[in-house]
Amino acid sequence: MADKASGFEADTGIAMELQYAPQSKNQNRVSIVLASGLVTTVAALVGVFLLQALAHINAMGLHIPLGAALVGVVASSGYGVASYRLGLRIRRTLLWTILLFQFLAYFGAEYCTFASRPPIVLPGTARPATFPEAFRFNATNMRLRFSGPGPDSEPLGDVGYFMVGLEILGFMLGGIFAPVMLSRHPYCDLCQLYLRRWNLGTIPAGIGGIFRAAARDPEAQTRAYRAADAKLRELARLVAVGDAASLKRELAMLDLPQRKAAALPARVTIELCQCPGCGDGFLQPVLHTGHGQDTKSRPLTKIPMTRQFISTVATTPLERPGPSPSTVAA
Ligand SMILES: [Zn+2]
């Protein structure tokens, strides 16, 4: 490899590591993320208010805490989108701040609803109720609405506090859904950017179909599993020796349709992750076992690739050979 490092390396015997200069970042990224989240939070809560006022639908109270969690997800979408766009890693402090903001937003919205309605006078008092009094009254007088034509339940009393607590919790946890998902997204520490991902294909690692004899043969399953392992090692070897043409050919053969892949007891998906800044990346194999909701996924060892190698392998997403003439005719 003849590059600028070789001169330095020849002089000093030390390999040059500072090849790519990370670009400067906006210093106010945290403030921008918080501001974006607050904008979507206000928008979501105004939507909830309008739904209640115009269509008499209490979105927050639907199937407690599912409705509240869904509103929380919409409300906090700004935090997630802005963090992703700005490449801001969501750390614990930011996550706690978002939770606090969601908590305050819930009570802010409740107060706005309280203030926008005509004052209420509670039984046994001769003055308009304060916000805490009205909040307590609403909580303990909450009624469950059953599906069907039957009447609502009796007022819940103290159980109402539990339901309100559940609603608040749903709204707060919905609020950190996107940030938590994002914190699991691959990230380049050098450039402080989230990596882009492309699914390149699936390696079968088992035999599907309960009516097939091979599927019920443990040894056949083991052979399929080992074949997947051999395929992975071959991909890693081709990357290591820099054989882009063969790697491209191998990847193009991983065209197992998703429906067929899902029927296998085990399969390995191959994802290409690349930093939009420095261009470095890796192949990320992920082992999936089980079916449907019981699917378990486990990332396997990454296969690192330099930006030069990724660019020789393909312009992403990797192009795949078109259908053969026979399949076109059929
Ligand atoms: Zn990078």
Give residue 48 CA to ligand 1 midpoint distance, Å.
40
Give residue 245 CA to ligand 1 midpoint distance, Å.
25
Give residue 261 CA to ligand 1 midpoint distance, Å.
32
Same domain, 217 and 282: yes
Q: Among 89-98, 210-219, 315-324, which stretch is predicted with the lowest mean pLDDT?
A: 315-324
Q: Which residue has the higher pLDDT, 9 or 68?
A: 68
Among candidate residues 183, 211, 236, the one where a domain is terminated: 183
Work out the average pLDDT over 190-216.
Answer: 88
Give residue 320 CA to ligand 1 midpoint distance, Å.
26
Q: Among 62-71, 230-239, 296-305, which stretch is predicted with the lowest mean pLDDT?
A: 62-71
Confidence of residue 323 (pLDDT cuts 50, 70, 90): very low
Same domain, 203 and 261: yes
Give residue 266 CA to ligand 1 midpoint distance, Å.
32
Structure tokens, 10: 């020849």
Give residue 15 CA to ligand 1 midpoint distance, Å.
19
Confidence of residue 316 (pLDDT cuts 50, 70, 90): very low
Work out the average pLDDT over 91-114.
Answer: 93
Is pLDDT above 80 for 16? no
CA distances from 129 to 119, 123, 244, 256 (A): 7, 10, 74, 65
Residue 161: inside a domain, yes or no?
A: yes
Q: How far is CA 61 from the centre of its chain?
A: 25
Q: Which residue has the higher pLDDT, 284 or 121?
A: 284
Work out the average pLDDT over 237-261.
Answer: 91
Give residue 22 CA to ligand 1 midpoint distance, Å.
7
Give residue 39 CA to ligand 1 midpoint distance, Å.
30
Q: Which residue has the higher pLDDT, 252 or 8?
A: 252
At 69-94, the pLDDT tens digits run: 999 999 999 999 999 999 999 899 99
Give residue 18 CA to ligand 1 midpoint distance, Å.
12
Give residue 128 CA to ligand 1 midpoint distance, Å.
60
Confidence of residue 328 (pLDDT cuts 50, 70, 90): very low
Q: DSSP characters for 84-124?
A: HHHT----HHHHHHHHHHHHHHHHHHHHHHHHHSPP-B-TT
Give residue 307 CA to ligand 1 midpoint distance, Å.
10
Same domain, 75 and 175: yes
Same domain, 176 and 205: no
- The Cα 128–Cα 114 span in angstroms is 12
Q: Among 21-35, 69-83, 208-222, 251-265, which stretch is predicted with the lowest mean pLDDT?
A: 208-222
Q: What pLDDT does 326 receive?
A: 39
Q: DSSP characters for 306-318?
A: -HHHHHHH-SSSP
In this structure, are residues 256 and 268 in contact, taking their beta carbons and an 8 Å threshold?
no
Give residue 231 CA to ligand 1 midpoint distance, Å.
28
Give residue 234 CA to ligand 1 midpoint distance, Å.
26
Same domain, 306 and 194: yes
Give residue 20 CA to ligand 1 midpoint distance, Å.
8
Q: DSSP characters for 199-231?
A: EEEEEE-S---TTSTGGG-HHHHHHHHHHHHHH
Same domain, 169 and 40: yes
Confidence of residue 7 (pLDDT cuts 50, 70, 90): low
Is pLDDT above 60 for 2? no
Of the candidates 312, 237, 276, which has an alpha carbon nearest to the alpha carbon of residue 1?
A: 312
Q: What pLDDT does 58 receive?
A: 86
Same domain, 80 and 194: no
- The Cα 50–Cα 65 span in angstroms is 20
Parent domain of 287 = 188-322
How many domains are there within the chain? 2
Among candidate residues 183, 205, 237, the one where a domain is terminated: 183
Is pLDDT above 60 for 318? no
Q: pTM here?
A: 0.77
Residue 111: inside a domain, yes or no?
A: yes
Of the candidates 3, 38, 36, 35, which has an alpha carbon nearest to the alpha carbon of residue 19?
A: 3
Same domain, 169 and 313: no
Residue 70: inside a domain, yes or no?
A: yes
Same domain, 158 and 202: no
Same domain, 156 and 33: yes
At 40-68, the pLDDT tens digits run: 999 999 999 999 889 988 888 888 889 99
Q: What pLDDT does 57 receive?
A: 87
Give residue 170 CA to ligand 1 midpoint distance, Å.
36
Residue 328: inside a domain, yes or no?
A: no
- The Cα 292–Cα 161 span in angstroms is 36
Q: Among 106-120, 150-164, 235-249, 288-302, which stretch is predicted with the lowest mean pLDDT?
A: 150-164
Give residue 272 CA to ligand 1 midpoint distance, Å.
14
Same domain, 256 and 317: yes
Give residue 328 CA to ligand 1 midpoint distance, Å.
41
Is pLDDT above 60 for 207? yes
For residues 118-135, one letter each, b for 16 or more C-beta atoms within 10 angstroms of the residue's C-beta and e for the rest, the string is eeeeeeeeeeebeeeebb
Give residue 277 CA to ligand 1 midpoint distance, Å.
5
Give residue 275 CA to ligand 1 midpoint distance, Å.
5
Is pLDDT above 50 for 10? yes
Same domain, 229 and 166: no
Give residue 28 CA to ligand 1 midpoint distance, Å.
20
Is pLDDT above 50 for 1? no
Residue 330: inside a domain, yes or no?
A: no
Residue 35: inside a domain, yes or no?
A: yes
Of the candidates 197, 185, 173, which has an alpha carbon nearest to the alpha carbon of residue 73?
A: 173
Q: What pLDDT does 27 receive?
A: 86
Give residue 238 CA to ligand 1 midpoint distance, Å.
23
Among candidate residues 183, 198, 216, the one where a domain is terminated: 183
Q: What pLDDT does 106 receive?
A: 94
Give residue 326 CA to ligand 1 midpoint distance, Å.
43
Average pLDDT, the chain: 86
Work out the average pLDDT over 201-213.
Answer: 87
In this structure, are residues 175 and 73 in contact, taking their beta carbons and an 8 Å threshold?
yes
Structure tokens, 284: 């990320």
Give residue 276 CA to ligand 1 midpoint distance, Å.
7
Q: Hey, what long-range contacts does 237-244 have (CB within 8 A, 24 or more apart)? A: 239/283, 239/303, 239/304, 239/305, 239/309, 242/309, 244/309, 244/312, 244/313
Confidence of residue 3 (pLDDT cuts 50, 70, 90): very low
Work out the average pLDDT over 171-184.
Answer: 91
Give residue 183 CA to ligand 1 midpoint distance, Å.
16
